[in-house]
Amino acid sequence: MNAIIMGGSKGVGLSITQKLAETHDKICIVSRNLSNLNTASNLSSNGKAQILIFPGDISNSNLPSELNDFLKHSNFGPVETLICNAGGPPQKVLLDTTDEDWSVAIQTLLLGQVRLVKSLIPQMIKNSYGRVIFISSTVVNEPSVDMILSATARAGLGAFAKAAAKNFANYNITFNVIHLGGVLTDRLSSLIENQSKLQGKSFEIVEKELVATIPAGRFASPDEISDLVNFLVSKKTMYITGSSILIDGGMTKGYF
């Protein structure tokens, strides 16, 4: 099988790349940062998969066509697995946001990923097989005032995934959304750092307070996320589609 992994060059995305490299034949990692892509390629080369890299920004409306041209010229073959792992927008409360903030958030977290899915679906239909995973966040389930950009755009993506799952289930194409709680990545450290400045508390105190809200008593490791992704993209999961799956150590309080 062949996979495209958006945002697969660091953090959770890199862990997913390394995990899928054990089971896939070819993987194309897409990221804006060429240096991170080169590092990820080297770190993932121990798996069985051939690793290709493509520098690109998911918010760019030309990315799907440019990526497909690259894959065609690289003799990549059909894409069976698509991991959409777009980075989150900055922390801002509503009155601090600008039209540009909203445009970037929606283009990155919603429209950009929708465009990419739309461009790849025809070949999945042709081969009667596909796995599409969206990496999202628990802020969709329990929005916070300073994550309004992320919560709003990601909520739209969840609705898209549900509709697409119904649309393409008869072609053996599944769509699922994974909602992450706190995961030990640079992104989490940045969020904690921002909170510590806003609250006038030390990084360590804010981190301890956040961990206290998690029944499991800790943050997740990136490998725990990639293990779940590896299961969902396997051929064992045809009956799991249109689902929103929490992996947050029991942190989310809502029931649905």
Q: Which domain holds residue 161?
A: 2-183+221-247
Domains: count for the chain: 1
Q: How far apart are CA 239 and CA 256, in angstroms?
A: 19
List of E strands, 44-100:
50-55, 81-84
Per the listing, tokens 């073959």 go with 77
Within 10 Å of residue 21's Cβ, how many Cβ atoms? 23
**CATH code for position 169:** 3.40.50.720
Under the banding of pLDDT at 50, 70 and 90, the label for residue 188 is confident
Q: Which amino acid is at 63?
A: L
Residue 104 placed within a domain: yes
From 70, 155, 58, 66, select the one nearest 111 (Cα to Cα).
58
Asked, for residue 256, whether it belongs to a domain, the answer is no
Question: Which pLDDT score, from 0 to 100, does residue 256 have?
Answer: 58
pLDDT at 170: 97
> What integer best gives the mean pLDDT of the chain?
93
C-alpha 187/C-alpha 87 separation (Å) is 9
The pLDDT tens digits for 75-89 are 999 999 999 999 888
State how far the Cα of 163 lies from the Cα of 181, in Å rounded to an integer.
24
Among candidate residues 243, 219, 220, the one with its CA nearest the CA of residue 232: 243
* Short-list 65, 71, 80, CA closest to 25: 80
212 in any annotated domain: no
Average pLDDT over every residue of 207-226: 93
Which amino acid belongs to residue 249?
G
Angstrom distance (rounded) from CA 239 to CA 243: 10
Instruction: With CA atoms as reference, report the closest residue to 185 among 30, 10, 18.
Output: 10
Q: Do 1 and 234 contact (CB within 8 A), yes or no?
A: no
pLDDT value, residue 159: 96
- What is the pLDDT, as a whole number, of residue 88? 82
Q: Give a yes or no: residue 9 inside a domain.
A: yes
Token pair in block for residue 151: 């919560």
pLDDT of 253 over the 90 cut? no
Instruction: For residue 68, give both structure tokens.
Output: 């497909």
CB 113, CB 86: distance < 8 Å: yes
Calpha distance 65→50 (Å, rounded): 22
- Does residue 61 sit within a domain? yes
94, pLDDT greater than 90: yes
pLDDT digits (tens, 9 = 90+) for 113-151: 999 999 999 999 999 999 999 999 999 999 999 999 999
pLDDT at 193: 87
Q: Which of 33, 82, 76 is nearest to 55 (CA)?
A: 33
CB 7 within 8 A of CB 32: no
Could you tell me if 37 and 9 are in contact, meaning their C-beta atoms sit under 8 angstroms apart? yes
Examine residue 98 and state whether it is found in any structural domain, yes or no.
Answer: yes
Q: Residue 194: inside a domain, yes or no?
A: no
Answer yes or no: is 177 within a domain: yes
